[in-house]
Amino acid sequence: MPERNSRGFLSGMLLGMLVSLLTGLVSGYLLIVLEFISVSLLDTPAVQVLSEWTRRNLGLSVLPFAITLGLYIHSLRALARRLDDRSPQNEIAQLEHLTDVWTSLFFGIGVIWTAIGMRSALLYALGDPAVAAESGAFTILTRLVDGGILTALTTTIVGGIGGYMMRVIKSSYLGTRLSRYYEEQEQHHAARVEQLLHDIRASIGDLSASPSPAAVELLEE
């Protein structure tokens, strides 16, 4: 028991640190993208390139992606703790369902942000028919890129790859333990049914061996 409590404390502490770090990074990124603050670290070429790529290709989709990822990690860790504690099946099933929900939501964010980015890019490039008619193909393509078409395409890729990776992580991390847990639950249920049938059979045997007076009178009638 002390070892399990210690493991739970360490898991909770690591999860809290991870969530805090993720929240801080996302908050800082949003403040920088919205130009509320400026960081001197961005003057570093490598960091500047990474920041510019993220802003241009992901935009504000970083926020829902990060929130969903944090919820997924929390549910996955909670599911692992419940399996260690041999919690009831309804709690295990609910946490597994939540984990699958966050995975599906990660996919969905990529799809939704794709639609948002495509709509924004088309409105920016073709919103003014007169300007669009006078512009050349290269100009329209440039306006599509500036309008957010790269964000639309990149979020689709991130949502797809991230969603499938979340499924792989769940299967690799907890797949065997979940299968063993559900198998044990089925065996326990089957054993209870078998015991119940055995008790019913024994009761019927007892009644047949020594029937009550009321049962004898009923049979004679």
The predicted model scores a pTM of: 0.68
**pLDDT confidence of residue 44:** 61
Helices within 127-148 (DSSP H only): 129-134, 137-147
**Average pLDDT along the chain:** 76
pLDDT band at residue 162 under the 50/70/90 scheme: very high
Domain ranges of the chain: 2-178
Mean pLDDT in residue range 44-66:
76
The CA distances from residue 3 to 6, 7, 9, 76, 216, in Å, are 5, 6, 10, 20, 62
- Higher pLDDT: 197 or 22? It is 197
Position 221 pLDDT exceeds 80: no
**pLDDT confidence of residue 106:** 94
**pLDDT confidence of residue 152:** 86
Q: Judge contact between 199 and 191, C-beta under 8 A.
A: no
Position 1 pLDDT exceeds 50: no
CA atoms within 13 A on the CB side of 69: 22
Q: Which two tokens stand for residue 137?
A: 């193909």
Position 124 pLDDT exceeds 80: no
Per residue in 93-116, pLDDT tens?
Answer: 999 999 999 999 999 999 998 888
Position 37 pLDDT exceeds 60: no
